[in-house]
C-alpha cells in the first residue's frame, strides 16, 4: 500500500528543538517534542518507553497546529542511565510506529529507539571544534638539526634518509625510512597559518619514539621521538597552542607495539620475563601474534593486568600521563580501536575500552576520546566507550561511494570489489541507518572526515574536479559531528607517486589553490558561528538521482544544504521544504553566492543548479 504523504513530515531527533535538555541528570524530567505536518490526520501520539525492561505508554499533548506544522509534547522521566523511547502515532491512515529508523507499520527493533544518556558529560569544546590532521614528518621542518641521519640506526636492514622538502625519494629507499624532517617545532611555526584558516584543533599522527616515519611501530610510549623535537618540543607546542586558544589530540597505538620496543625485546630474550605476558607466543621466540601478520608489530595481550596498569590503569600510565601538564593533550585518537582486546578466543575489547575511558575521564573529564574504526562502530558508541570514531562508515564511505563509486577490499583477499557510483538513496540510507543507532549526544561527537593518511586524498578521489571537491567540503562542514580536515587538502594537494596521501605540505603560495583555501576558510568560519551546524538537528529534505538536500536546525537558526553531483545541471524547480517545518515567506541566503530565496507554496524555488553545493542560511531565523 502507498504511504500517506504526511509521513515524510514526521520528525524528531535529540537536538534542542525536540529535547528540552540534551544532557539531563538522572532523576530529571525532560520534555520530548514531535513535529508533523499541520494537516496530518493524527488523533493521538503515544510516547513509548522501556523502564526496567517493561513497556510503558504516555499520552502526548498537541501544543500547536498551525501551518506548516503541528507539534506534540510529552514528559519523559530520566530514571535510568540510558532512556529508550519511540512514538506510536494513531491516525486516520492507521497506526504508525516512529523510531530513529523512521516510520513503519511494524514494530521496530529497540536498537533503533531514540536514546537519552543521563549524567553524560561531553567535551563541551567539541561543538565549535574544527580539526586539522597533521602527519608530522610531512608538514613543516622547523629544526633541520634533528633530521634522521643514515648513521643513526638500522631498521630491517635499511637506514633512514632525510630528503629535501618535496624531493622525490630514491626508487630503492625503504618507504618507512623516507623522511623529510617535519617536526613539532615546524608545526608550532605554522600555527598562524592554521589560525588564519580557522581550524582550532589539531590531530597529530603518532609522535612517540619509533623507527619509521609513521611511528605506528612505537618503541617507547614515554618519550616523544627526538626527530620530532622530544618531550620539550611537545610542551612548547602545548604552550603555543594555548596562546591561540587551540587544542590537540595525540595518536596512540595500544593494540600493538614495535618489534624493538623494550617490552617485546625483554619477552624475546626471556620467556619468564614479566613482559612476556604482554604478548602471545605460539612458539617462543619466533611465532607470536601480530597486527595483521606484520612481524614488526607484535600484538599486545590485555589478559595481562600488568599491561593494563602500564597502558591505562596506573597513575603514571600512558593514557593518563600525556593528558597532564606540561603536555596537557586534549584527548586521544586510538589506533585500530575496533581490534583492541580482540584475539581469537579472547574477546575483551569492551572491558578494555571501558577501562581506557574511565582512566581518561578521571584524568581529564573534558578530554576527547576518539577511535579509529572503518566499519560499524555503533557498539562502541553508546556513551560507555569512545566519544567518537573516525566516521568512515557513517559519513566518509557513503559520500565517497556516491561521488566516485563503491570500492572495498579486505586484508588478504587480493582484489577489490567495486560498483558504479551509488544512487543518492543508498548514501542517504547509510547515513540515516548509522545515525539511527546512536544517541544524539554521541552522534554530535563523531569525527567526520573526507580522507586521512590511510586513504586517497579527496582531490584525487574525485579526479581533480574542483566542483565535487567543494561539494564534499560543504557536506563535511555542515553534517552532524565534528569536522576534520587533512593537511593540504585546503590548498588542493593530491596523491603523489611513491608517497600517496603523505606527501610534503606545499608551502609555496604560488602553487597553492588559494581560491580553494578561501572557500575552506569561509565555510569554517560559518561552521564555528552557526548553532545549527554545531548542535542542530538533521533531516533529509530531498533525495533525487543526483541531488540530495538536508536541513540543520537549532532554536536560533536553520541551514539547508543542497548538493548536486552531476555535470549536467539540475533543472530549475521547487525544492519541497514544508515537510521540514519551513514556513512560507521564510527567507534564505546562499552563503556561497549571496542570492536570496523566499519560500513559497511550501517550496524553495531553485534555479538551474550546476555541479556543486548550496548552503542556504535562513536570513530571518529566530
Residue 49: φ, ψ to 5° = -120, -175
Handedness of CA 434, 437, 440, 446 (dihedral sign): negative
Q: At what angle do helices 466-476 and 514-529 cross, to 10 degrees?
A: 20
Q: Residue 229 is placed in which grid cell?
A: 623535537
Q: Residue 68, preceding bond cis, omega within 30 degrees?
A: yes
Beta 612-618 vs 558-564: how paired, if at all? antiparallel
SS3 for 51? Answer: helix
DSSP string, 252-310: E--SB--TTSHHHHHHHH-TTSGGGGGS-EEETTTEE-EETTEEEEEBP-TT-HHHHII
Can you give the three-state secondary structure of 69-91, one letter per residue? Answer: EEEEEEEEECCCCEEEEEEEEEE
Q: How many whole angstroms separate alpha carbon 117 and alpha carbon 85? A: 12
List of residues 6+ apart from 105 with CB closer than 8 A:
94, 95, 96, 97
* CA gap 78, 172 in Å, rounded: 63
Output the CA–CA distances (angstroms, integers) from residue 171 to 167, 177, 270, 438, 497, in the order listed.
12, 12, 39, 47, 11
Q: Which residues of 112-135 are buried (b: 16+ CB within 10 A; e: fewer)?
A: bbbbbbbebebbeebebbbbbbbb
The DSSP code for 214 is S
Active-site hit among 217, 372, 387, 489? 372
372 an active-site residue?
A: yes
DSSP string, 164-176: PTTPPPPTTS-GG
DSSP string, 17-40: TTBS-SSPPTT-EEEEEEEEETT-
The C-alpha cell at 228 is 620530532
Q: How far apart are CA 564 and CA 402, in angstroms?
A: 11
d(CA 311, CA 314): 8
Q: Is 113 a catalytic residue?
A: no
CB 348 within 8 A of CB 306: no
How far apart CA 593 and CA 462 sit, in angstroms, is: 23
Its sign, for the CA torsion 189, 192, 197, 199, is: positive
Q: Are 125 and 137 in contact (CB under 8 A)?
A: no
Residue labelled with grid coordinates 608517497: 499
- Measured CA to CA in angstroms, residue 207 lies from 210, 230, 249 at distances of 8, 9, 11
Grid coordinates belonging to 192: 598562524
Buried b (16+ CB within 10 A) or exposed e, 259-271: bbbebbeebbeee
Selecting among 335, 387, 489, 546, the annotated active-site residue is 335
Q: Which residues are catalytic?
A: 335, 372
Amino acid at each position: 500500500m502507498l504511504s500517506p504523504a504526511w509521513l515524510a513530515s514526521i520528525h524528531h531527533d535529540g537536538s534542542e528543538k525536540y529535547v528540552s535538555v540534551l544532557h539531563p541528570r538522572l532523576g530529571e524530567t525532560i520534555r520530548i517534542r514531535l513535529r508533523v505536518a499541520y494537516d496530518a490526520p493524527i488523533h493521538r501520539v503515544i510516547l513509548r518507553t522501556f523502564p526496567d525492561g517493561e513497556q510503558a505508554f504516555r499520552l502526548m499533548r498537541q501544543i500547536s497546529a498551525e501551518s506548516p506544522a503541528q507539534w506534540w509534547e510529552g514528559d519523559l522521566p530520566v530514571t535510568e542511565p540510558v532512556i529508550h523511547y519511540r512514538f506510536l502515532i494513531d491516525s486516520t491512515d492507521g497506526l504508525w510506529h516512529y523510531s530513529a529508523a523512521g516510520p513503519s507499520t511494524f514494530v521496530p527493533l529497540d536498537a533503533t529507539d531514540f536514546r537519552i544518556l543521563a549524567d553524560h558529560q561531553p567535551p563541551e569544546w567539541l561543538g565549535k571544534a574544527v580539526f586539522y590532521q597533521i602527519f608530522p614528518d610531512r608538514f613543516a621542518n622547523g629544526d633541520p638539526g634533528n633530521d634522521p641521519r643514515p648513521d643513526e640506526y638500522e631498521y630491517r636492514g635499511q637506514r633512514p634518509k632525510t630528503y629535501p622538502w618535496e624531493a622525490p625519494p630514491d626508487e630503492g629507499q625503504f618507504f618507512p625510512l623516507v623522511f623529510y624532517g617535519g617536526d613539532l617545532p615546524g608545526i608550532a611555526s605554522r600555527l598562524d597559518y592554521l589560525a588564519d584558516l580557522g581550524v582550532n584543533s589539531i590531530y597529530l599522527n603518532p609522535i612517540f619514539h619509533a623507527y619509521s616515519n609513521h611511528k605506528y611501530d612505537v618503541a617507547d610510549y614515554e618519550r616523544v621521538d627526538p626527530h620530532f623535537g622530544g618531550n620539550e618540543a611537545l610542551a612548547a607546542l602545548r604552550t603555543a597552542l594555548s596562546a591561540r586558544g587551540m587544542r590537540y589530540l595525540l595518536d596512540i597505538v595500544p593494540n600493538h607495539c614495535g618489534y624493538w620496543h623494550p617490552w617485546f625485546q625483554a619477552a624475546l630474550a626471556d620467556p619468564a620475563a614479566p613482559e612476556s605476558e604482554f604478548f602471545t607466543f605460539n612458539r617462543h621466540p619466533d611465532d607470536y601474534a601480530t597486527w595483521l601478520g606484520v612481524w614488526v608489530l607484535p600484538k599486545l595481550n590485555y589478559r595481562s593486568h600488568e599491561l593494563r596498569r602500564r597502558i591505562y590503569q596506573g597513575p603514571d600510565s600512558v593514557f593518563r600521563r600525556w593528558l597532564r601538564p606540561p603536555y596537557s593533550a586534549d584527548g586521544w585518537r586510538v589506533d585500530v580501536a575496533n581490534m583492541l582486546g580482540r584475539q581469537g578466543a579472547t574477546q575483551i575489547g569492551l572491558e578494555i575500552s571501558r577501562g581506557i575511558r574511565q582512566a581518561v575521564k578521571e584524568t581529564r573529564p573534558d578530554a576527547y576520546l576518539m577511535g579509529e574504526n572503518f566499519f560499524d562502530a555503533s557498539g562502541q558508541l553508546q556513551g560507555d566507550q569512545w566519544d567518537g570514531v573516525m566516521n568512515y562508515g557513517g559519513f566518509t564511505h557513503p559520500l565517497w561511494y556516491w561521488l566516485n563509486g563503491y570500492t572495498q577490499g579486505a586484508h588478504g583477499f587480493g582484489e577489490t570489489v567495486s560498483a558504479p557510483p551509488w544512487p543518492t538513496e543508498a548514501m542517504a540510507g547509510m547515513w540515516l541507518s548509522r545515525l539511527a543507532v546512536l544517541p544524539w549526544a554521541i552522534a554530535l561527537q563523531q569525527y567526520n572526515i573526507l580522507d586521512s593518511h590511510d586513504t586517497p586524498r579527496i582531490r584525487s578521489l574525485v579526479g581533480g574536479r574542483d566542483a565535487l571537491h567543494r561539494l564534499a567540503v560543504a557536506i563535511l562542514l555542515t553534517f552532524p559531528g565534528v569536522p576534520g580536515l587533512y593537511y593540504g587538502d585546503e590548498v588542493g594537494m593530491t596523491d603523489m607517486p611513491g608517497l600517496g596521501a603523505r606527501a610534503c605540505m606545499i608551502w609555496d603560495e604560488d602553487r597553492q589553490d588559494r581560491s580553494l583555501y578561501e572557500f575552506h576558510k569561509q565555510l569554517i568560519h560559518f561552521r564555528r558561528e552557526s548553532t545549527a551546524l554545531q548542535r542542530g538537528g538533521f533531516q533529509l529534505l530531498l533525495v533525487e538521482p543526483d541531488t540530495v538536500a538536508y536541513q540543520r536546525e537549532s532554536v536560533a537558526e536553520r541551514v539547508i544544504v543542497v548538493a548536486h553531483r552531476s555535470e549536467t545541471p539540475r533543472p530549475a524547480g521547487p525544492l519541497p521544504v514544508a515537510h521540514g517545518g519551513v514556513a512560507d515567506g521564510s527567507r534564505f541566503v546562499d552563503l556561497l553566492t549571496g542570492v536570496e530565496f523566499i519560500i513559497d507554496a511550501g517550496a524553495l524555488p531553485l534555479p538551474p543548479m550546476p555541479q556543486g553545493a548550496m548552503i542556504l542560511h535562513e536570513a530571518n531565523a529566530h
